Chains A and B, each alone.
Chain A
């Protein structure tokens, strides 16, 4: 049973013991295992990790949008207290957008290229709020205003390709927010954007989240983004949580060697520590999910690994108050 970092009572999202498996050419293998998450209303949880760590699969599972080859094979996902995995598909469709909505990385592929921005937002509003065409369009423009789209009435009549990258991401956020969802899941929402535009979109997301009291799950590979917006952070490696803590504890006292490695690999000083001439390079690469090592998945790359690490997988345990890590040889904070 996966251990939970916080109580799940009244949480917006409560994921327990989740496993996601992929069935493919190499047989069936888990890409996410022992996952547990709780997110309260008004809280921002960041899930951070490198390519293939299972963070996007986790995000998609929260909306039951997993690709056909993947499925949640174990565990439970509760959204505002309702068992999401057991729900019939029709009910899930009713809840998407209203209870929980998603912001994707690449708005150009996530938005419909043959509908105007306004039509796409209005369509969602008509479907969920049962508004008439005109009222739905008015709501669409109002939502574009909310996300500070310049000249919203004109933009509503434009197609996605007519907008800049930053404006498209604003349109996507408007689409996600149109039906006042209580939970937002954002998968790398600023990765495709230039740094000055990223700053605006991060500013927008945290501003909206504070004003609307939404629970926010933000998936990212970028510890800089984490430091800017997170309340709590989950670090993932090879499909599992390796560390979970408040954003302050994580940046000031990281205890898992993988988290330490990630922070040392960033070519900019982290939380006031001096800059170094040479970056920490984590030797080797992430093992593929169909061929995970027997013990800790990070052990083959870990500078602190002992014999036990290669034999026995460490469970996620509370090492300091509110600070969890899955490691036999963790750094003593």
Chain B
């Protein structure tokens, strides 16, 4: 992979042991992330989209070392992030930040907002105390909060405001990339729009890259430059946004885009009422993980896992038939 990438991930794996019985013996392995590779350029938004349990959030957490990868390599700004040891991580963690889904549980309820935002500046010893307080005021203004509310506690803010606090905290150390893990999923649509606009403004003004993790195709189509679709721990398709949404290659991408409601009552979907059994990462099907739900599946799909390969239009997809 060329080194123009800000961040590149090669064959990332996160496997969890499943323990059972009295002696808690390991009875199985959940391959939550199973060989994921992608790269993000400066100022770019790459989205990871998929349904519950596909490994998108675990991928994000693994990038920050918040869960320990069991395999694979992460390169950041030309250097390999080694064993995720504490000392190596400090500079990396300054430049790679995260915004979580739930602004209610990711803020300490007993800590004033000023302190919640300033703590990262304190840890990294940025400036004097007065300078740090001034920086907090600037950050709050930057994300659309009133700096005079810095002494309030999280419960005194609405959900959207709390998400702004989370973003201010992530911005404090001037990161190169922010992992946004479902940052608008818990918000009402009018507030969601405010936060999406804020993220777009910050990218335009500060050149921040985003790894944007979401289950919502509408949000993903709006905010991304490129999109990676995940299914049971694997990337099944990765393509520039316009290409992916105009003409999905992988049958799962097709299924996802057809399942999203239309917003046009004159052109409704005719959704099938029948159920298909959705497998989980713990009972992952053999061969292509999607073959149990795939309309195109044949014998080869049951036995041989398709590789993620480049297509004539430049996108990558993992399918025997498309």
Partner of B273, one of A196, A200, A227: A200
Residues of B within 8 A of A207 (CB): 273
B261–A280 touching, CB < 8 Å:
no
Q: Does A279 contact B (CB under 8 A)?
A: yes
List CB contacts (< 8 Å) of B259-286 with chain A: 259-266, 268-278
Across-interface contacts of B276 in A (CB, < 8 A): 200
B219 within 8 A of A: yes
Chain A 144-185 interface 0/1 with B at a Cβ cutoff of 8 Å (1 = within): 000011100000000000001111001000000000000000
Q: Tell me the smallest distance from the CB of A315 to a CB of chain B, in Å.
A: 24
Q: Say how far A103's CB is from chain B's closest CB, in angstroms.
A: 15
Query: Within 8 Å of chain B (Cβ to Cβ): is A223?
Result: yes
What is the bound-complex CA distance between A282 and B52, given in angstroms? Answer: 30
Assess the A279–B197 pair: CB atoms within 8 A: yes
Known A-B contacts A203-B272, A267-B196; the reply to A251 vs B264 at CB < 8 A is yes
Verify if B299 is at the interface (C-beta below 8 Å from A). Answer: no
Q: How far is the CA of A203 from the CA of B272 in the complex (A)?
A: 5
Q: Complex: how many Å from CA A170 to CA B276?
A: 12
User: A230 vs B256: C-alpha distance in the bound complex, in angstroms?
Assistant: 22
Interface presence of A18 (CB below 8 A) = no
Q: In the complex, A227 Cα to B263 Cα: how many Å?
A: 5
State A230–B262 Cα separation when bound (angstroms).
Answer: 13
Does B156 have its Cβ within 8 Å of any Cβ on chain A?
Answer: no
- Flag if A285 contacts B160 (CB, 8 Å): yes
- How far, in whole Å, are A247 and B192 apart by their CA atoms in the complex? 24
Is B218 part of the contact surface with A, judged by Cβ < 8 Å?
A: yes
Whether A164 and B263, one on each chain, are in contact in the complex, defined by CB atoms closer than 8 angstroms, is no
Q: Which residues of B contact A248 (CB under 8 A)?
A: 265-266
CB distance from B260 to the nearest CB of A (A): 6
Kindly list chain A residues whose C-beta atoms are within 8 Å of the C-beta of B258: 199
Is A150's CB under 8 angstroms from B275's CB?
yes
A197 and B262 CA atoms in complex are apart in Å by: 16
Q: Given contacts A262-B189, A267-B218, A268-B218, are A196 and B51 in contact (CB under 8 A)?
A: yes
Could you tell me the distance between the alpha carbons of A262 and B277 in the complex, rounded to whole angstroms?
A: 34
A residues apposed to B, CB below 8 Å: 50-51, 148-150, 164-167, 170, 194-200, 202-204, 206-208, 221-225, 227-228, 230, 247-248, 251, 261-262, 264-272, 275, 278-283, 285-286
A270→B264 contact, CB < 8 A:
yes
Q: B189 to chain A: which residues have CB within 8 Å?
A: 50, 221, 223, 262, 265-266
- In the complex, whether B169 has a CB less than 8 A from a CB of chain A is no
Output the least CB separation between A204 and chain B (Å).
4
B6 part of interface (Cβ distance < 8 Å): no
Given A195-B217, A279-B196, A280-B193, A271 and B263 contact (CB-CB distance below 8 Å) = yes
Complex Cα spacing A223 to B222, Å: 17
Contact A228 B266, CB 8 Å, known A278-B200, A279-B196, A279-B197: no
CB distance from A292 to the nearest CB of B (A): 16
Closest B-chain residue to A195, C-beta based? Answer: B259
Task: Assess whether A203 is in contact with B270, with CB atoms less than 8 Å apart.
Answer: yes
B108 close to A (CB within 8 Å): no
Complex CA gap A116/B193 in Å reads: 42
A268 CB contact (under 8 Å) in B215, B221, B259: B221
Q: List 5 A-B contacts (CB under 8 A).
A: A195-B215, A206-B271, A251-B263, A280-B193, A281-B193
B294 on the interface (CB 8 Å rule)? no
B194 CB within 8 Å of chain A:
yes
| Contact (Cβ within 8 A) A166 B193 | no
| Residues in A neighbouring B263, C-beta threshold 8 A | 223-224, 227, 251, 266, 268-271
A194 & B264 in contact (Cβ 8 Å cutoff):
no
